[in-house]
With several copies, the nearest count.
Chain A
Amino acid sequence: MSDQGGLRSGLRVVVQEAPFDFGAEAERFAAGRTDLGAVVTFTGVVRDVAGGLEGMEIEHYPGMTEKALTEIASEAQARWSLGEVLVIHRYGKMAAGDRIMMVATASAHRQHAFEAAEYLMDYLKSRAPFWKKESAGGDQSWVAAKDEDEAALDRW
């Protein structure tokens, strides 16, 4: 398995600070493939639960991040029949409503596309080196990992 991430057969992993164009990525993902009938995307968006979020900043571990995402995606490719897999994750500063990340999966079978996307999300949440910090009311605080996110891994 590649340690580099980036482009490989059927797998694209992108880690960047800049916003990504979700509509354009969704439009071109697996476009024109006539062997893949089912495409699933998941997008994570900055939430402002309490209504006073001033911003979010995501820290990551350059080098390990791409490697971890590529390993997670490769494991999904090994478990399900997938024609294409895409993972995009941002780091740096974001505002409420901004898109943080997306995954996309394409398969001949909808159950494979759905399960692989859920698997990618469950592992990405708890095993890819990203940390969220929220600013609200002038204070900054690191988002705590949720027990339910760790527990979600048990089903795979």
Chain B
Amino acid sequence: MIDVLYFAWVRERIGLPKEKIETSAATVAALVEELKAREERYEAAFADLSALRVAVDQELTDFDAPLAGAREVAFFPPMTGG
């Protein structure tokens, strides 16, 4: 089980801020494929990965990052702080 978090318009498209996912995906990209296969709203949210960023256990990383041992994965658009 892994906590999956969504922020900003990713959260809005998927319709919830956080969920627990049962997965054996080896990488972030594999998890994304699993989610996209589930429902239309995931397909919509993950349509363009170049418009998305990902953090594993609260560290920014890439979509090919491994998920082994990860507790938390977060998906969100590019940040706009400051």
Interface residues of A, Cβ cutoff 8 Å to B: 44, 58-61, 63-64, 67-68, 89, 100-101, 110, 121, 124-133, 142-145, 150
Contact = CB atoms under 8 A, between A and B. Distances in A.
Interface in B1-23: 5, 7-9, 11
A63 B18 CA distance: 14
A18 B58 CA distance: 24
Interface string B55-80: 10011100000000000001011111
Contact of B7 (A61, A89, A101, A127): A61
Interface of B: 5, 7-9, 11, 55, 58-60, 74, 76-82
Contacts of A60: 81
A89 B82 CA distance: 8
A154 B60 CA distance: 17
Contact of A101 (B74, B76, B81): B81
Contacts, number: 71
Nearest to B78: A145
Contacts of B80: 125, 130-132, 142-145
Contact of B81 (A63, A67, A125): A125
A44 B80 CA distance: 12
Contacts of B76: 61, 129, 131
Contacts of A89: 81
B58 A127 contact: no
